[in-house]
Amino acid sequence: MRPTIKDVAKAAGVSVGTVSNYLNGNVTVGDARAERIRAAIADLGYRVDLGARGLRAGRTRTIGLLIPNISNPFFGEIARSIEHALTEHGFQTFLCDTGEDPQREAAYLANLASRRVDGLVVIYASHRSDPDRLRLPNPVPLVFVDRGVEGRPTVTIDNRLGGRLAARHLLHLGHRNIGVLVGGGDVQNVQLRVQGFVEELEAHGVDLPDAYVIEGPQALKFGGRVERLMALAKRPTAVFATNDIVAVGAWQRLLTLGLRVPADVSLVGFDDIELARNLIPPLTTVAQDIQAMGRRATERLLHAIDSRAGGRSAAPASDDFEMIEPRLVVRESTAPVAAAGARPRKAG
């Protein structure tokens, strides 16, 4: 039979209230009694029923975390950042991979509602998601991260500025024929990256022909379509990929085409995932501060949870949209323009 708090109290020779104070940390318990309680818990194998305790207190100490695709290293890294931050504050995380499917997203939300989570952190699935429906009853505090929603609590980066930084770097190196691999062009933050990139090119009198822009999913395989750019009569001397995972796929395909990075083609990504730093050569990229995003999303969610528990309202909508500034990280995948339009060498 599972031991109870009364069994612990009897074994330790103290009252049930003293054991409760020890477990909750509400009142300091003397060293001698605390030691007896610790020994009794260990001997009996007593485990606190966190679910029951949470329901009595009006909290479950759990958070739902929805991400679009766990196989994408960026989403994996930001999930890890948020989960670690929540753990430090005594919360457990239900991690849900929506697979960029709004129906699956809705199903997870219903499941999380049944678990009575204290809050939600959401990177919504796709442009087909309805942010106004991404709520739980009563209402549960929610913070969007990475993919922002105007007028709702959001922590993201200035994606438009990030696009401009990428273009500015390539222009500074003398590149004028630049291809773009748009991974996830139906997502607003990717659209903003492309917008900023084009604005910077136009400010310097550089056009971006339609043939130099290829759209597809945020996936490693999509990066392989860089070969279409390399097949153009006047091929680009540089390529900007709107996500690092796409840049990695492009880098792999360029190698099989017999093209060297950056001697033949310069390559810039966006995100600064760990894999980007370990390529040979390492990838020049626009870095999102993943740790800062995770920390701020966690802080804002916990503040909203505390405010709700105390009967206070959260921050006004005008303060809800928070942008963190990106930064360009220059590594070895970019170089000054050399022989523009050089013909590919045969692999092997």
Q: What is the pLDDT of residue 77?
A: 92
Q: What is the pLDDT of residue 158?
A: 95
Query: Pick from 195, 183, 176, 251: which is nearest to 219 by CA?
Result: 183
CB 270 within 8 A of CB 166: yes
Cis check: omega of the bond before 281, within 30 degrees of 0: yes
Any bridge partners for residue 322, and if so which?
155
Instruction: Report the 10 Å Cβ neighbour count for 6.
Output: 11
CB 251 within 8 A of CB 267: yes
pLDDT tens digits along 193-219: 999 999 999 999 999 999 999 999 999
Q: Do the first three CATH levels of 59-157+289-324 and 159-288 match, i.e. the same topology?
A: yes
- How far apart (Å, rounded) are the C-alpha atoms in residues 273 and 22? 43
pTM for the model stands at: 0.77
Per the listing, tokens 């969007």 go with 144
Q: What is the pLDDT of residue 49?
A: 59
Mean pLDDT of the chain: 85
Q: At what angle do helices 159-172 and 188-203 cross, to 10 degrees?
A: 40
Torsion angle, CA of 243/247/248/250, rounded to 10 degrees?
140
Query: What is the dotted CATH code of the domain comprising 159-288?
Result: 3.40.50.2300
Q: Looking at the predicted structure, is the pLDDT value of residue 24 above 70?
A: no
pLDDT tens digits along 221-244: 999 999 999 999 999 999 999 999
Give the percent of the chain with pLDDT over 70: 84
User: How is the chain split into domains, by residue range?
Assistant: 5-48, 59-157+289-324, 159-288
- How far apart (Å, rounded) are the C-alpha atoms in residues 316 and 207? 41
Q: Which of 32-41, 118-127, 256-265 has the highest mean pLDDT?
A: 256-265
The class (CATH top level) of 59-157+289-324 is: alpha beta
Q: Looking at the predicted structure, is the pLDDT value of residue 137 above 80?
A: no
Q: Which helix (H) or strand (E) holds 199?
A: helix 188-203
